Structure 1
Amino acid sequence: MSQSDRMPKIDLSKLNKTELNFIKNIEEKNRVRVEKLKKLRRNNLITAGILGAGILGIYGYSMYAVKQENFLDDFDEPAKTTQ
């Protein structure tokens, strides 16, 4: 970001008390908003982790269960009959 793209700095000594209070009010609202977004993001990551672990658990159990199946191992092909 170049220097020309930025807003010029404001001299706080030229602002009156009402304007300073307004700025502080906006900063506080922004701080609260950021905290809510951080909490929301953390909760979303926790939910994603739990869902991912559940999916991997189901996949792992499915592979384990399929490996134990042996009913087709002893399957013999029927003898071919010639006529």
Structure 2
Amino acid sequence: MGNSDKMHKIDLVKDKANIPPSMLEYMKMVEKQNLERVEKLQRMRRNNISVGCLLGFGVLGIYFYSMYAVKQEKFLDDFDEPEKTSH
């Protein structure tokens, strides 16, 4: 494929007279769809970040609560070793 197969770049200010109105309507429609797609992706990204943070905080909360609960157990501290008998 050579350079002749590529479409030339259009300057909307200079070439507006040469562009058919149907093509301008099509370009506006595609631009609107693209903006809607970008907004949807931004909303999805924001929601994904929120869910990720909530899950992360939940995991950290469970971890630190587990460490706090284990730290309070003192039943092994009071355990007396049996007396040794010499026989």
For normalisation by structure 1, the TM-score amounts to: 0.81
Deviation at 1:71, TM superposition (A): 0.2
Q: Which amino acid aligns with 2:26?
A: F
For residue 19 of structure 1, the aligned residue among 12, 23, 37 is 23
SS in 2 for 1:78: coil
Higher RCO, Cα 8 Å, sep 6+: 1
Aligned partner of 2:3 in structure 1 is none
CA distance, structure 1, for counterparts of residue 32 and residue 72 of structure 2? 60
Runs of 5+ consecutive residues of structure 1 not aligned to the other structure: 1-6
Deviation at 1:19, TM superposition (A): 0.5
SS in 2 for 1:79: coil
For normalisation by structure 2, the TM-score amounts to: 0.78
Matched, 1:77 2:72: no
What are the superposed Cα offsets for residues 2-45 of structure 1, whole Å, 9 maximum, x if unpaired?
A: xxxxx853133221100111011000000000000000111111
| Percentage identity across paired residues of the two chains | 57
Matched, 1:61 2:65: yes
Structure (1 or 2) with the larger CA radius of gyration: 2
CA distance, structure 2, for counterparts of residue 67 and residue 37 of structure 1? 45
Q: Which amino acid aligns with 2:28?
A: K
SS in 2 for 1:23: helix
Deviation at 1:77, TM superposition (A): 2.3
Runs of 5+ consecutive residues of structure 2 not aligned to the other structure: 1-6
